[in-house]
Amino acid sequence: MKMVSTMKIVDTKSAPPGAAFRVRVNRTGRRTYAPEYKFEIAEECSVPGASVAAVALSHRINANLVRRWIVQHRSGRLVRTPASTPTMLPVTLSAPSAPAPLARAQPAMLRLKHTAPGVIEIELESACVRVRGAVDRVALRTILEALAKR
């Protein structure tokens, strides 16, 4: 028995990387159209002499759906979204500064739970951290963050 796609799309069809989607089809076959695509089709229908049915047929979309987009376009609910370009921020480099002094641990943080003794050893380029016994998670995080800033 030969299997035939009921979605009438090629399974290997894909958009180039970074391209915006125009139509997405979910597992049940329901289509979701991009707002930019809806806007383009509504604009195409607003040209004098354009037939809504012909435009819909050329894009293989139901004419009633296109009419709904035209109503949304006329009411201002369907607008062209500007292409988003990443905003670049100025970056200035400065000389490395001395590490900030570590804040004193609060007494509540010094209460340790009784756990099995162990050793955590972390070797970095400029330092070696050895923690023996029970480890306070907050204190260890503070130490590692201070070392990472160096």
Q: Residue 49 maps to which CATH number?
A: 1.10.10
pLDDT of residue 4: 56
pLDDT of residue 112: 47
Residue 136 — very low, low, confident or very high, per pLDDT cuts 50/70/90?
A: confident
Instruction: Determine the average pLDDT of the residues in 1-27.
Output: 63
Q: Is residue 134 part of a domain?
A: yes
Say yes or no to pLDDT of 64 above 80: yes
Q: Is residue 12 part of a domain?
A: no
Q: Is residue 141 part of a domain?
A: yes
Q: What is the number of structural domains in the chain?
A: 2
Domain end, chosen from 75, 90, 115, is at: 75
Q: Which residues, other chains included, contact 50 with Cβ-Cβ below 8 Å and sequence gap of 6+?
A: 44
Q: What SS3 class is residue 120?
A: strand
Instruction: Determine the average pLDDT of the residues in 49-55.
Output: 95
Q: Is residue 93 part of a domain?
A: no
pLDDT of residue 55: 95
Alpha-carbon torsion 61, 67, 72, 78, what sign? positive
Q: What is the pLDDT of residues 100-128, one digit of tens each?
A: 666 655 554 445 455 556 777 777 666 67
Q: Is residue 3 part of a domain?
A: no
Note down the domain range covering 139.
107-148
Q: What SS3 class is residue 31?
A: strand
Contact between 26 and 7 (Cβ < 8 Å): no
Q: Is residue 101 part of a domain?
A: no
Instruction: Determine the average pLDDT of the residues in 11-15.
Output: 50
Contact between 12 and 5 (Cβ < 8 Å): no
Average pLDDT, the chain: 76
Q: Is residue 130 part of a domain?
A: yes
Closest CA to 33 of 86, 73, 5, 4: 73
